[in-house]
Chain A
């Protein structure tokens, strides 16, 4: 039995709006084992990134954690002080950002940006050791050391993503939150980056939460998959269970939308709900009852509770496990 690195229990995060608090994450629970990996899949706005930022204590000023418990290495992150959170950030939990965004500061050399993370958390380290660690990180992600002195704009998108990965590994964290790290990269580079992330994660025994809208990408690198819809987790299980016998209609639509060469063009009509409809459910009943092919009167009336399909596979659908 592997030990839990991160346990998230019934986490709800909302944004303060003029009309009260609007829930972006609604009662999400999951755990990540030491060295294990969890993929969070869901469409834009379903609350994936909000979860990641919430774990880091980096929510926007108008966001607030409504309820829930987050235990990381046995420590309650919800009650941790700001100073303690700063110590945990990057040292214990680091992030891999999307390189297409301006995740690297344009006016500082990449070497300094990596060194900065090391120096902040290990101030006693000599300048020589910091430089040595920075160089070996570059070796690890297969970027020539001669590029250490370069600025972010001098790298290609794929290389910039490697720099970001090197930076995430700088303090040898026990958990990495990767937020859409391959989005906006072409498939070949995406493949290289994914295999690099997978390798480090396994070899260094780092726990990982991999956030993506693309279930194919998540299936590539994660041992567990959590499917999110409208702020809630709707299905949670091992990769095989979720991909081979998806229990939730929404997951079935996502898996069914995977493109393969031999298939007819995939039908996405069921997956894509109207814009503005992907936020947290405000109506009664199951959030997807209007697009679900199997919806019954029960689905329209009340939200389903969790149904355990196996010890590791659970799904939040009232139709699940009934005669299929």
Chain B
């Protein structure tokens, strides 16, 4: 009950934040250099045609009227037609969204799990060689430049040893095959996902490891660890059942914080690996001045980050009973 109220309250907050983001986006696009119409208007058009076109797009209206239309359109899901594709942008982005969500949810969950697991061990064996190795390794991976690492991965795994495909998300020949079942398709996507996934996990697990390690070191000094020892529990239970759940809480926070950044890095990863997701579409739309597409992509990313943060909050409330009210 308390949890439901908590989620409802967060949903209201999300609506407010989303409204603010919509408004900021509207202003930003109006402030951006270049007139959106100049892209559409052909020099060969007569002034009369140009005026009609502007009128049809509502650009002759005062700014606040445009703003009201914009709000109405966003709320009703009408985000306009892409200049480049000539299709409604919502349809284009909805096609890409699952690909992005698949890649990034998987990478975030994998890096967090790996970071928590290794950080737990590093803290437990503090000062030993395994701790030193893991800490240095985590710092090293954390500081790698993502596009560089992506290229190195492509060069080594895609080209030198040739284990994994280097572009795209599917192999058409697998999908058009008449006998292609769900498993075959899923395995094909997984196969294409290995390299971008490895890149993202390598970049991100290090910070989770370091957060988990230092948090675990603090937790191990807590009094309930002495209680657990006094109860005669074995060391593994103390580590995994008493210290780790408490120590993992800051990692959950850090997952929430890093979500926005990983979507950010998503544009780079998706571009390098030509992963057909929102990030790549965003880069494309900006470089081609496809305003409706760019605007909708930004809004969609905002929604994804907000919803993901909500999920993290709920997860936190589930993990830490003190947070629920």
Contacts and interface: CB of A to CB of B under 8 A. Distances in A.
Are A and B associated in one complex? yes
Contact of B229 (A89, A105, A106, A151): A89
B246 A105 contact: yes
B233 interface: yes
A87 interface: yes
Contacts of A104: 224, 227
Contact of A56 (B222, B224, B230, B322): B230
B231 A90 contact: yes
Contact of A89 (B231, B242, B322): B231
Interface in B226-245: 226-234, 237, 242, 245
Given A87-B232, A103-B224, A106-B320, 11 more contacts: A86-B232, A86-B234, A89-B231, A94-B230, A95-B227, A97-B230, A105-B228, A107-B246, A151-B321, A151-B322, A153-B322
Interface of A: 56, 58, 85-91, 94-95, 97, 101-108, 116-117, 120-121, 151, 153
A103 B321 contact: no
A105 B227 contact: yes
Contacts of B226: 58, 97, 103
A85 B232 CA distance: 8
Interface of B: 222-224, 226-234, 237, 242, 245-246, 319-322
Contacts of B227: 95, 97, 103-105
Contacts, number: 66
A87 B321 CA distance: 31
Q: Which 4 A-B residue pairs are closest in the complex by CB-CB distance?
A: A89-B232, A151-B321, A105-B224, A101-B223
B229 A58 contact: yes
A60 to B, nearest CB: 10
Given A58-B226, A105-B227, A88 B232 contact: yes
Contacts of A87: 232
Contacts of B322: 106, 151, 153
Contact of B232 (A91, A102, A151): A91
B321 A102 contact: no
Contacts of A97: 223, 226-227, 230
A120 B321 contact: no
